[in-house]
């Protein structure tokens, strides 16, 4: 008990994070995470399942994700903490559920960073033939260093790269939309099941608004700016996703998209030639690098926030006195992502991440509902519209949508995700004892 109490006391003396980010910086960071994770990397994988209906898969993902994004906005305004979902569920359901939520949250950031890094490696290998897996490991290391250097530096890189990746998507849209009508966008080669399966895959692309919430302790006026950033990010990225997917399948047969390691570059190559394809490939490198960087940075902050809530050992809450970043958590997240990237399978890695995303988002929607009953008097600077007898209907839609789409996950990924759940559940037994001892 004495040792745990000493750890708790040491943690209370740690250097805190510093509020340096405004609404624009946080919004662009969220947009950058979402765009890089999805369309540049997963449009080919999704086309293999949905065929010409790949754009519908992104639309389905958006329909399911939007209510969850709004749920995050309500909770982030109530509890503006770096621990994000783990902090919310600590208030709603207690320590064990909070740890499991954080466990999935960290998995989303860590495994997601590995998946997107593999996408980076694929695009770079298309240019220089350096090996996708080795390049993925290298970019994870580089992003870990930047995340350690500072949040202002991390976000500065993120903003520049976000503008570049958005410009690349606009280029694909401008080049590809004149071809709309060349294929039947409603010819679902694998039926509705294929669209829903692709929707469960690309749902990974919409998890960026969770990362926005983790920046709460470094955001100026987070009760206003975090919900605003989430709403802006969901609207902007959904619009770009659907338009790019339509342009892609209208310009290149879905079979070729499915076989490509650099799908958007191949789309532009087919229409405008090698030079423009090289531009898209270069922009894709910016996009995927950006997402890896932000996933590592926010994953570290989730771990930091959980340590502050006594949901992880105090060492995860260590903040560099000079850099004002959670350096221990950044190191651990980076090394774990590098190990996962060594598997080299982006589709399967993304599906495993989706298990964590579906679990996490289901719990968050449930937390919104539970807190309406358990904490009805609490201040809610942002409040979900549409309530029936205290039940927020948008959160109910988000919960049911996540559970329904999760049914279409790959079976092997569901099995691997279940193992992740069991490991987390076993670890929660220790965490419950640790939390009780540390706060005694």
pLDDT tens for the chain, 440 residues: list them.
444 444 444 444 457 788 888 889 888 888 877 776 567 767 888 899 999 999 999 998 888 888 999 999 999 999 999 889 999 999 999 999 999 999 988 988 898 888 888 878 877 887 777 888 899 999 999 999 999 999 889 989 988 988 988 898 999 999 998 998 888 898 888 888 889 888 887 876 777 777 788 888 999 999 999 999 988 988 898 899 999 999 999 999 999 998 887 788 888 888 888 888 888 878 878 888 888 998 899 899 999 999 988 899 889 999 998 898 999 999 999 999 999 888 776 666 666 777 888 888 999 999 999 999 999 999 999 999 999 999 999 999 999 998 988 887 778 778 878 888 899 999 988 887 777 776 66
Q: CA-to-CA distance for 160 and 318, rounded, in angstroms?
A: 29
Q: What is the CA radius of gyration of the chain?
A: 21
> Among positive and negative, which fits the CA dihedral 353, 355, 356, 361?
positive
Q: CA-to-CA distance for 440 and 437, rounded, in angstroms?
A: 5
Q: Look up the CATH superfamily of 2-9+22-438.
A: Amino acid/polyamine transporter I (1.20.1740.10)
> Which residue from 359, 370, 301 is spatially nearest to 330, judged by alpha carbons?
301
Q: State the helix-helix crossing angle for 54-78 and 346-374, rounded to 10 degrees.
A: 40
* pTM beyond cutoff 0.85: no
Q: Which two tokens stand for residue 406?
A: 């999760």
Residue 192's contacts (CB-CB under 8 Å, 6 or more residues apart) are none
Residue 376, φ and ψ in degrees, nearest 5: -65, -25
| Centroid of chain to Cα 332 | 18
Residue 333's contacts (CB-CB under 8 Å, 6 or more residues apart) are 106, 109, 110, 113, 144, 296, 299, 300, 303
> Which residue from 175, 68, 5 is spatially nearest to 401, judged by alpha carbons?
68
Distances (CA, A) of 401 to 19, 64, 154, 350, 418: 35, 5, 33, 19, 20
Q: CA-to-CA distance for 212 and 61, rounded, in angstroms?
A: 18
DSSP 188: -
Measured between its terminal Cα atoms, the distance across the chain in Å is 8
- The domains of the chain are located at 2-9+22-438
Residue 21, φ and ψ in degrees, nearest 5: -110, 135
């Amino acid at each position: 008990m004495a040792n745990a109490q000493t750890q708790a006391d040491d943690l209370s003396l740690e250097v805190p994070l510093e509020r340096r980010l405004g609404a624009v910086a946080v919004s662009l960071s969220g947009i950058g995470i979402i765009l890089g994770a999805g369309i540049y990397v997963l449009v080919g994988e999704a086309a293999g399942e949905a065929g010409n209906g790949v754009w519908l898969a992104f639309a389905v993902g958006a329909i399911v994700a939007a209510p969850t994004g709004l749920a995050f906005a309500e909770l982030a305004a109530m509890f503006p903490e770096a621990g994000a979902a783990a902090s919310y569920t600590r208030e709603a359901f207690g320590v064990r559920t909070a740890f499991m939520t954080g466990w999935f949250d960290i998995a989303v950031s860590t495994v997601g960073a590995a998946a997107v890094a593999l996408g980076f490696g694929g695009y770079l290998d298309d240019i220089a033939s350096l090996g996708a897996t080795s390049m993925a490991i290298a970019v994870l290391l580089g992003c870990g260093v930047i995340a350690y250097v500072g949040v202002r530096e991390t976000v500065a890189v993120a903003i520049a790269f976000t503008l570049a990746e958005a410009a690349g998507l606009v280029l694909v849209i401008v080049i590809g939309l004149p071809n709309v009508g060349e294929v039947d966008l409603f010819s679902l080669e694998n039926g509705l099941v294929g669209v829903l399966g692709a929707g469960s895959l690309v749902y990974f692309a919409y998890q960026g608004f969770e990362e926005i919430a983790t920046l709460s302790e470094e955001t100026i006026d987070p009760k206003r700016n975090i919900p605003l950033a989430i709403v802006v990010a969901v609207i902007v990225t959904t619009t770009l996703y659907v338009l790019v997917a339509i342009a892609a399948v209208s310009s290149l047969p879905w079979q070729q998209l499915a076989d490509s390691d650099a799908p958007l570059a191949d789309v532009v190559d087919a229409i405008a030639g090698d030079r423009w394809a090289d531009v898209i490939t270069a922009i894709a490198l910016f996009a995927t690098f950006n997402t890896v960087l932000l996933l590592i940075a926010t994953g570290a902050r989730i771990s930091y926030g959980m340590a502050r809530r006594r949901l992880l050992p105090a060492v995860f809450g260590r903040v560099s006195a000079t850099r004002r970043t959670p350096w221990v958590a950044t190191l651990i997240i980076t090394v774990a992502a590098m190990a996962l990237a060594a598997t080299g399978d982006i589709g399967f890695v993304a599906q495993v991440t989706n298990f964590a995303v579906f679990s996490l988002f289901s719990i968050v929607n449930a937390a919104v509902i539970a807190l309406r009953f358990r904490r009805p008097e609490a201040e809610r600077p942002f409040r979900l519209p549409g309530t029936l007898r205290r039940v927020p209907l948008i959160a109910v839609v988000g919960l049911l949508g996540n559970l329904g789409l999760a049914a279409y996950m790959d079976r092997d990924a569901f099995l691997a995700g279940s193992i992740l759940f069991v490991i987390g559940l076993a670890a929660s037994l220790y965490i419950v004892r640790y939390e009780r001892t540390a706060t005694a």
